[in-house]
Amino acid sequence: MAVKKEVIRSGWQEAVALVLIATGVLLLLGMFSYDWRDISALNMPSNDPPVNFIGPVGAWCSFLLFFSFGMAAYLFPAGFIYTGTFMLLKPGTGTGRRLGWLLGLSVAVVLFMTLDQEN
């Protein structure tokens, strides 16, 4: 017989899960509506008001993610949404380990995407 493991629920895990899902959705909206003219360091004068759905914060977050990781930056909001959903549906099942694998996958995809740019 399998021993049933009882999961003790606390409000903190659900709160963190909801914050992760909300952050992922906001990042995704900011990335889809990204316009480089919203960034004052790239365009003078910048768009006023910003075209980005999330405003200047969404424009800068999108700029930093795209500048750092390129098109692989879309993995971050998807990973946040996935991890938050998983934390809500299956609590207490190694969330830290999953975040580590997500970070490793993101780095691997970034490195894989830069291989083709050398030639």
DSSP string of 68-102? HHGGGGGHHHHHHHHHHHHHHHSTTS-HHHHHHHH
What is the mean predicted confidence (pLDDT) over 59-77?
Answer: 88
Question: What global pTM score does this model have?
Answer: 0.73
pLDDT of residue 117: 61
State the average pLDDT for the chain. 82
